[in-house]
Structure 1
Amino acid sequence: MSRNYEAERAVLMDDVKQVLKDAEALYQAAVDDGTKEGKALKEKLKAQLGRAQKQFSELEGSVVERTRQAAAQTDDLVHSKPYHAMGIAALVGLVLGALLSRR
């Protein structure tokens, strides 16, 4: 799962970087002149931005789904073994309290 997430994140970041480069080029073209090159860059930027937004929404959807699954599994575990969950919570609280009291 995390490998797929990392690959999707890398692709998304590459697209965002490319969009920023194209936005800079579009800005320079718009400042210099309003020719066909500026229009072509604007269309390319629009297409890449749309693709990046689509990939981001898909990535966000998969993250939300994985979070829901993890929450459901945690909820099932807590309901099936409540004393284990309370013991773990108490242990974590004890460790955090000890670490914070040292400072």
Structure 2
Amino acid sequence: MNALSNEVSKEQLIADFNVVIADAEALLKATANQGGEKLAEVRAKAEESLRVVKARMLDAQEALVLKTKAAAKATDVYVHENPWNAVGVAAGLGLLIGFLIGRR
């Protein structure tokens, strides 16, 4: 369950960073007409930072997809190699969930 929550946290982190990147790009576009050497320098630095962050986020997304596919493949292989174990686990979880729902 901890691995699943970590994956969800990573997905949420990626989504949050994408929002931050979009907001930063909008801010840079909004200040594009503002003058001043110092502002232009800060804008250029921010644009470079955004490019770096975007590249890292794409790498993180690709890594997350690869890990998810690997986990799905490992689960598929395990279920095919041990079908009765998988059926037993599924039945046990079904009973547990049914018991918990029935108590409400």
TM over 0.5: same fold? Answer: yes
Q: Pairwise CA RMSD of aligned residues?
A: 2.8
Deviating runs (4+, > 4 A) in structure 1? none
Q: Among the aligned pairs, what percent are the same residue?
A: 31
What is the CA distance between 1:38 and its match in structure 2?
1.2
TM-score, normalised to structure 2, is 0.67
Aligned residues: 83
Q: Establish whether residue 87 from structure 1 lines up as the match of residue 82 from structure 2.
A: no
1:16-95 correspondence to structure 2 within 5 Å: 30=31, 34-95=35-96
Q: Secondary structure at the match of 1:34?
A: coil
TM-score, normalised to structure 1, is 0.67
5+ long unaligned stretches in structure 2: none
RCO comparison, higher one (Cα < 8 Å, 6+): 2
5+ long unaligned stretches in structure 1: none
What is the CA distance between 1:64 and its match in structure 2?
0.9
What is the CA distance between 1:100 and its match in structure 2?
1.6
